[in-house]
Structure 1
Amino acid sequence: MAVMTMEQSTSRSILPAAFRTAGVDALAMIVAMVLAALAIYLFGNAAMQRVVTYAAIMLTAVLGLQIFSGNTGIVSFGHAAFVGLGAYATGILTMPAALQRTALRDLPQFLAGHEMSFFTALVVVLVLAMLVGLVTGIPLFRLSGSSASIATLALLIIVYTLLVAGREITRGSQPFYGVPREIGLWTAVGVAAMAIILARLFRETSFGLATRAAADDERGAAAVGVDHRVARLAAWVLGAVAAAAAGAMMAQFLGAFSPKDFYFDFGFTMLAMLIVGGMTSSLGAFAGVVVTVLVVEVVRRFEGGGVIFGLQMPVLFGLTQGVLAVAMILVIWRRPAGLFGDRELNLLRRPNAKMDPVKPATDVAPTRAAAGPISVDHLSRRYAGVVAVDDVTLSFEPDSITGIIGPNGAGKTTLLNMIAGDVMPSSGIVRIGAPVRQASAFRFARAGIARTFQNIRVFPRMTVLENVVVAARVVEPGLAAAEAAARRELARMGLERFADRPAASLAYGQRRRLEVARALALKPRFLLLDEPAAGMNAVETAELVSILAAVRSERRIGVILIEHDMRLVMNLCERIVVVDRGRVIADGAPAEVQNNPAVVAAYLGSRTARARQGNDVQ
């Protein structure tokens, strides 16, 4: 026990490897940005310095968009609104009082005469952005997917309309002028550096892992305790804060602006920059801004017309936006995930390196091991006129292995889904210590009900290690402890050497084992397995049986298993429940069930029916 305590205290004090990697990556990007800025500062002219300053401001805005869209997978059109709000708030707070009395004669008294420094105003703007992010985010994330994207577009339109309508505060559609132009190269670079750190580290936090998992598979994420709405709200608020910081700098960079400067064109430019570089990584945002700014600066030389290569060219208004659109289309065509895809630098990570051997911690037992049974009372589920589960009453004890078998379409998976909180019963109650009337998979997972799926639901764009850390973080005290626990489960399942590879690169049987490892990382009271041996060969199946038996013996957890491999079921299970047409027709020891006339009739009857259908077709 003393050794165990020492291990736990050590794991908590060590910075997680993911954070160390993220920190080094962020530092590398910051160094590259600072060196570029230093070169322009020493050898460039004022115009070149303004270009780099603008690029740093845009990088801050695009990183705000990446924090949200890159991690959640929801394309946001609304972050330009936060840039606009940040710009107007900064303009009002920093404008000289004497000029303010002339330019904003009808400004409400509580907003007038502050004349703050830029950094004081920036603090106020960031607090304001956090509040607005919370207010807009809470109703917004009752939606998902394209519905959420359309809602962000609605937010942009609402903010634009308010800026135009609020003439006493914003001067309406007329230029808002008189803002001190105090933003220099190094201020913009400094704020952009903070945004790089924020974006890169967020990806590895609990919220970042949760949003990425839900983006890959929302249902699978809920099964490991992820509340995707809370995680997405955190990403939305942080993204809004970064975008508002960019707006604060943009106000003092431009000196004069109007609502249209933060409307569709600006939102499109931000989105184009992110898509060109790669939406799902901070490296992609960084590269997208660099490439896009360079392209824009070159194109602007031609936009005004004149003699080019001996040809007289007309003035081409909108050429910059057109070239951005073409560049975005070309990148999507050739590299759909952007120039850098979902890859970060990962300077400390070696994808092909073998992980140090980790001895499975057989003395680590889940804290919920002594909890009571799962019970279902008169459980039914109807889909239109089809009854999938019909008035089922069962109880499952901890420290036991129960198999649920039955013909195809008997309702086994639907029953398991209700026990896992993934499907709401049409009637009846599931008890996991207390009655649960509202289905909620992530709450069931946090209460100690872990599961795998009939169709594998790993998170393909995340690494093998990250797949398990997402689950471990729900029950472990910190990310370092979660990482250590995840490595133990991977070692148990023989997957430790694949820890830093994308889960999508695993073979079918390995992904099955990864799903089991992820479920075990929750330290569950009950483990629900839906055809875990499907697609495995005989050797892999035997290994899985051995692992499950060992886990049950070590942790004293309950296992509920759906499986068509009768050899596996009879060798592993102590109790078998047979379901046919949504009803329980047998419940007992394997030997009893095998000789039960109702079970024999159900299986033989289904085979006979299939044979008759085949004869009819012939």
Structure 2
Amino acid sequence: MITSPRLQIFAAISAIVVGVVGAALIASMFGAAAERILTVFFITLVGVVGIGIYSGNSGILSFGHVAFMGIGAYVSALLTLPAQLKVATLPKLPDWLATTEMGLLPATVIAMGVTALVALLVGAAIGRLEGSAATISTLGLLIIVHGVIIGWRDVTRGAQSFFGVPRETGIWAAVIGVILALVLARLYRDSRSGLRLRAGRENAIAATAVGVNIPRERLISFVLAGAVMALAGALLGHFLGAFSPKKFFFNDTFLLLAMLIVGGMTTITGAVTGAVVITLVTEFLRRLEGGFSIAGFDVPSVFGTTQIGIGLIILYAMFRKADGLAGLKEWEERVFPKRPPSGSAPALQEVHVSDSLTASNMTMQFGGLVAVNDVSLTLTPGEILGLIGPNGSGKTTLLNMLSGVLRPSKGAAIRGQNKLNGVPAHKIVEHGIARTFQNIRLFPDLSVHQNVLVAALSTHGGEDADSRARAALARLNVAQLAGESAGTLSYGDQRRVEIARALACRPSLLFLDEPAAGMNRLETDALMDTLRGLTRDLGIGILLVDHDLTLINQLCDRIIVLNEGRLIAEGTPDDIRQDPAVIEAYLGRGKPGKKTKPKNRDEPGPATELAG
């Protein structure tokens, strides 16, 4: 399923085909030299797009994908190399490989398949790493593959040049390759998997909470990127006719990453922009490397002029436009923005699940600190349960245990007949539990609609995903903001979008961590009406954490109170307002021997303050 409007996808693919074919036709009018330059550019662009499929969508910079380019080059070359030449120069090849001789197309397909298999094995491990650890592991991959190619002399000729490869990559082979790579990358970016991965790039914790299996999505992009890099390697190897392992090492890695970073990692438009800019600058600087004259003055040659120039461009791009020259949106997303659907939005479906959530003796210990100590609670669909307590009392920690973010040190949480302890965080939502966060966790560079759509796509098999997303946005009165970037919204609107995203999961239980924080009184009152409607109309149970005691007292059927990680009170709002332990927890115990100034009859007492 493609999540972008058809008009945008049609415009993107049309522009790719027309632009690439048009450039090839123009180059053919200027002779073989122009065709050769454009062929190299197209092959390079395939490599940039390949890295972008993984790094752009996952947010993890990869130094290792050029290794897949090398694997593709060597595998395809071994399959197309004339049999007589293989027997003469690689006498220790297996008989089946020594006698195999095929054309560029089948060899490229096989090379892409072999490389994808290698990427699958490697990506299964790398996909579970985060941030710098994942980046460093890709660097290790590059070094290991480089070492294997050099050491496997019987197959690769080691560090020597691998020569005799049929030079079958002409301008039109490159045209087909670059169109295939660009279309694949564009379709993947706005596929279900691509959108989920981009959500994980923006905020991994929030994406996991709405059901995104981030390691799996990273693995998909890692393998697809590896296959595209193999395509680039096969095209390059059959363009050069001879190559060595150093061709697929640090120099090309630096060049391709520079193009991606300068243009913008997150879009196909950025990959093309960066490739064009760096190619033009590189060609210009190479002409100056041997020295030049200006107005009669001779400027001597400077070693590394090209690398210095590329480095300066990267610095300029990072300082002036950190998201790259092309920004965060594809060109067609700017020209053809998604318009809100006409007509009324569908309604959210009523919950038909009666299973309660029962948490018993929940304890969370961090080293010597006990953040939550022996807390038990029950939450039933259709009720609103308040969870209050002073700062640091363990409220959010308890929510994190119940939602799978943290595994409790002791105790158990059970939903119906299912024990939730040990259930991966991305699968908690399958048990009908969705949540928001104390600190807003939206996907800021995605649109409001995409924020909510990710949740709908990742739950219930993606059934009626767009309808659920639209219904959730309408329920929170933010449907008019669907096309806006989530990171540009006001604080109150961001809170509402976060709740809408949780509702799109179609939960029967909803955990809200300080949803009214940062809202004014009018916004809070509107939120209260919305939450009442969720329980009244849809039968959703809500576990509500907030410091707004007016909201808690007016909204909740029951309240539980934590202090220093312990459950100190449980009951109706009236019970809690009069509970001495609660009053002491909020206002503190008076110092012995210290007289308290008598209060005026009109001044609020502790119970009144707790009432809001």
Say whether the 8 Å CA contact 1:463–1:499 is kept in structure 2: yes
Matches within 5 A, 1:83-482: 83-305=69-291, 310-312=296-298, 314-347=300-333, 351=337, 356-362=342-348, 364-366=349-351, 369-433=352-416, 434-438=418-422, 440-478=424-462, 481-482=464-465
What is the aligned partner in structure 1 of residue 17 from structure 2?
Answer: 30
Match of residue 565, structure 2, among 569, 582, 587? 582
Say whether the 8 Å CA contact 1:283–1:344 is kept in structure 2: yes
Distance 2:40 2:479 in 1: 45
Match of residue 526, structure 1, among 509, 513, 519? 509
Percent of residue pairs identical: 43
Comparing 320-329 with 378-387, greater Cα deviation is found at 320-329
Say whether the 8 Å CA contact 1:188–1:249 is kept in structure 2: yes
Distance 1:211 1:309 in 2: 54
2:262 maps to a residue whose letter is: V
What is the aligned partner in structure 2 of residue 615 from structure 1?
Answer: none
Please state how far the C-alpha of 1:312 moved relative to its aligned partner: 4.3
Distance 1:165 1:315 in 2: 37
What is the aligned partner in structure 1 of residue 602 from structure 2?
Answer: none
What is the aligned partner in structure 2 of residue 616 from structure 1?
Answer: none
Distance 1:606 1:187 in 2: 81
Say whether the 8 Å CA contact 2:16–2:183 is kept in structure 1: no
Comparing 351-360 with 571-580, greater Cα deviation is found at 351-360
Comparing 507-516 with 561-570, greater Cα deviation is found at 561-570
1:513 aligns with 2:496: yes
Quick one: structure 1 residues 471 and 82, their matched pair in 2 at CA, closer, same or farther if it must change by over 3 Å?
same
Say whether the 8 Å CA contact 2:420–2:428 is kept in structure 1: no
What is the aligned partner in structure 1 of residue 578 from structure 2?
Answer: 595
Match of residue 57, structure 1, among 19, 43, 56? 43
Quick one: structure 1 residues 170 and 336, their matched pair in 2 at CA, closer, same or farther if it must change by over 3 Å?
same
Distance 2:438 2:27 in 1: 57
Distance 1:254 1:95 in 2: 13
Distance 1:16 1:437 in 2: 34
Please state how far the C-alpha of 1:155 moved relative to its aligned partner: 0.3
Deviation track 1:44-67 (CA, whole Å, cap 9, x = no partner) reads: 121111111111111111111000
Quick one: structure 1 residues 85 and 411, their matched pair in 2 at CA, closer, same or farther if it must change by over 3 Å?
same
Say whether the 8 Å CA contact 2:7–2:336 is kept in structure 1: no
Distance 1:510 1:606 in 2: 39
Distance 2:85 2:257 in 1: 35
Comparing 16-25 with 131-140, greater Cα deviation is found at 16-25
Please state how far the C-alpha of 1:299 moved relative to its aligned partner: 2.0
Question: Secondary structure of the residue that 1:578 maps to in structure 2?
Answer: strand
Question: Secondary structure of the residue that 1:514 maps to in structure 2?
Answer: helix
Is there any run of 5+ residues in structure 2 with no aligned partner, and where? 596-612
Comparing 583-592 with 301-310, greater Cα deviation is found at 301-310
Distance 1:530 1:235 in 2: 33
Distance 1:306 1:454 in 2: 61
Please state how far the C-alpha of 1:20 moved relative to its aligned partner: 4.5
1:68 aligns with 2:51: no
Quick one: structure 1 residues 566 and 252, their matched pair in 2 at CA, closer, same or farther if it must change by over 3 Å?
same
Say whether the 8 Å CA contact 2:263–2:275 is kept in structure 1: yes
**Number of residue equivalences:** 593
Say whether the 8 Å CA contact 1:379–1:425 is kept in structure 2: yes
Please state how far the C-alpha of 1:596 moved relative to its aligned partner: 2.3
2:309 maps to a residue whose letter is: V
TM-score scaled to structure 1, two decimals?
0.92
Please state how far the C-alpha of 1:427 moved relative to its aligned partner: 0.9
Q: CA RMSD in A?
A: 2.2
Quick one: structure 1 residues 131 and 35, their matched pair in 2 at CA, closer, same or farther if it must change by over 3 Å?
same
Deviation track 1:528-556 (CA, whole Å, cap 9, x = no partner) reads: 00110010011111111111111222221
Comparing 83-92 with 206-215, greater Cα deviation is found at 206-215
Deviation track 1:203-235 (CA, whole Å, cap 9, x = no partner) reads: 112221121111111111111111111111111
Distance 2:552 2:163 in 1: 76
Question: Secondary structure of the residue that 2:458 maps to in structure 1?
Answer: helix
Say whether the 8 Å CA contact 1:358–1:487 is kept in structure 2: no
Is there any run of 5+ residues in structure 1 with no aligned partner, and where? 1-11, 613-618
Deviation track 1:563-606 (CA, whole Å, cap 9, x = no partner) reads: 11122112211111111221222222222222223222322327
Say whether the 8 Å CA contact 1:353–1:497 is kept in structure 2: no
Say whether the 8 Å CA contact 1:575–1:588 is kept in structure 2: yes
Quick one: structure 1 residues 608 and 496, their matched pair in 2 at CA, closer, same or farther if it must change by over 3 Å?
farther
